């Protein structure tokens, strides 16, 4: 993957780092998630408009960025991406990333926003120092990038496809009627609602197969997870995290809920557990409905910063990282 594509992904990943890739209410036309090919096994989205406009969220993201060698702020990173790719993410409202977890060569970006197509192409060509070659695919013009490894296509006046050439073509095929994202991942993504950041993915069999069946608590039901989703949102002054687990059947979800309840009960009796950890555990809300388990958590920015400061040394000690 070329450096310019990596930079673009880095910028999006940093912004999405709070959740771990967008509400679709503001975009016109086909929702971004409905363009994701069936080949993909994850989809992640970011609502850039909301995040860039929120001081609390931007403060936390900049604190994360400050730990990088460079750049040190989100603005610096976005400026660097613009300088090297010609793409200014501030011009877009919604970004969705999809791909195959096990493949570095299958990835795509769907970007929605108000932009000038000709101006954007000129900006990319100026950054690349050359004119972008193009070809026709099913009535759409595809621009080639990074020695033909990556591609760019304008689906309409407010939707851009980017990524590996095969992924871009697959998304165009979906637009033309080909099968889209598999149902468990799609349903999990949709169940996360109108979140600022959300990620949904299938759980590979090799992962679920490694979940131990018997500990002090039985986790056998977790081997029946079909898909997992994580979202970040802001509710009033609270920052909100949500975990969605989709099981193959309601009985497995009910057993998993029992395992969660038993685990939190055991944690309450551990003598050396820091008070901050117990406060966080007490804030967790675990619900089961049909085949779904939902774990939700809310806290203010100040609370999260205080926990990070207090618990940082504790987790360093656990990991053997303390001096």
Query: Is residue 191 one of the residues assigned to a domain?
Result: no
Say if CB 267 and CB 217 are below 8 A apart: no
Query: Is residue 185 one of the residues assigned to a domain?
Result: no
Task: Identify any residues that bridge with 145 across adjacent strands, giving them in sequence order.
Answer: 150
Domain count, the chain: 2
Query: What pLDDT shows up at residue 7?
Result: 45
123 and 207 inside one domain: no
Query: Is residue 183 one of the residues assigned to a domain?
Result: no
Q: Which sign does the torsion angle of CA 35, 40, 42, 45 carry? A: negative
Distance CA 182, CA 304 (A): 35
159 and 224 inside one domain: no
Q: Is 154 left (phi over 0), alpha (psi -120 to 50) or beta?
A: beta
Query: Is residue 181 one of the residues assigned to a domain?
Result: no
DSSP label of 86: S
Query: Is residue 237 one of the residues assigned to a domain?
Result: yes
21 and 85 inside one domain: yes
Query: What pLDDT shows up at residue 37?
Result: 97
Query: Is residue 196 one of the residues assigned to a domain?
Result: no
Say if CB 292 and CB 246 are below 8 A apart: yes
In terms of residue numbers, what domain contains 102?
3-175
Say if CB 8 and CB 87 are below 8 A apart: yes
77 and 215 inside one domain: no
154 and 64 inside one domain: yes
17 and 118 inside one domain: yes
Say if CB 228 and CB 246 are below 8 A apart: yes
165 and 263 inside one domain: no
* pTM of model > 0.75: yes
Distance CA 185, CA 109 (A): 17
Output the tens digit of pLDDT for each of the chain's 323 residues.
Answer: 444 554 454 444 444 433 333 333 333 357 899 999 999 999 999 888 788 888 888 887 777 777 767 777 778 877 877 776 666 777 777 789 999 988 888 999 898 877 778 887 887 778 777 888 999 999 999 998 777 788 889 988 888 888 899 999 999 999 999 999 999 999 999 999 989 899 999 987 777 666 666 666 777 888 899 999 999 998 888 889 999 999 999 999 999 999 888 888 887 777 777 888 888 888 999 999 999 999 999 999 888 888 877 776 655 554 444 43
248 and 297 inside one domain: yes
Query: What pLDDT shows up at residue 10?
Result: 41
Query: Is residue 216 one of the residues assigned to a domain?
Result: yes
Query: What pLDDT shows up at residue 216?
Result: 61
Query: What pLDDT shows up at residue 54?
Result: 85
Query: What pLDDT shows up at residue 86?
Result: 64
Query: Is residue 198 one of the residues assigned to a domain?
Result: no
165 and 88 inside one domain: yes
């Amino acid at each position: 993957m070329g450096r310019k594509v990596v930079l673009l992904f880095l910028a999006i990943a940093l912004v999405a780092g709070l959740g771990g890739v967008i509400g679709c209410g503001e975009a016109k036309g086909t929702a971004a998630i409905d363009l994701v090919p069936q080949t993909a096994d994850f989809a992640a989205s970011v609502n850039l408009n909301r995040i860039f406009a929120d001081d609390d969220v931007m403060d936390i993201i900049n604190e994360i960025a400050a730990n990088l060698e460079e750049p040190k702020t989100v603005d610096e990173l976005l400026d660097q991406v613009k300088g090297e790719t010609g793409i200014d993410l501030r011009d877009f409202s919604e970004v969705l990333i999809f791909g195959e977890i096990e493949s570095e060569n299958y990835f795509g970006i769907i970007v929605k926003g108000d932009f000038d197509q000709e101006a954007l192409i000129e900006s990319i060509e100026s950054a690349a120092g050359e004119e972008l070659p193009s070809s026709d695919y099913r009535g759409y013009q595809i621009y080639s990038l990074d020695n033909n490894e990556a591609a760019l296509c304008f689906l309409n006046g407010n939707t851009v496809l980017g990524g590996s050439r095969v992924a871009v073509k697959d998304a165009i095929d979906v637009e033309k009627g080909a099968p889209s994202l598999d149902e468990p991942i799609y349903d999990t993504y949709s169940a996360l609602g109108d979140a600022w950041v959300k990620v949904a993915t299938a759980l590979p069999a090799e992962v679920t197969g490694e979940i131990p069946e018997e500990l002090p608590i039985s986790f056998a039901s977790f081997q029946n997870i079909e898909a997992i989703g994580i979202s970040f949102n802001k509710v009033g002054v609270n920052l909100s995290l949500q975990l969605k687990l989709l099981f193959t059947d309601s009985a497995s979800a009910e057993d998993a809920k029992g395992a969660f309840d038993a685990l939190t009960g055991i944690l309450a009796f551990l003598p050396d557990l820091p008070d901050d950890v117990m406060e966080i555990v007490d804030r967790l809300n675990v619900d089961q409905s049909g085949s779904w388990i939902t774990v939700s958590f809310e806290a203010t920015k100040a609370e999260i910063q205080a926990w990070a400061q207090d618990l940082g040394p504790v987790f360093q000690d656990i990991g053997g990282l303390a001096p």
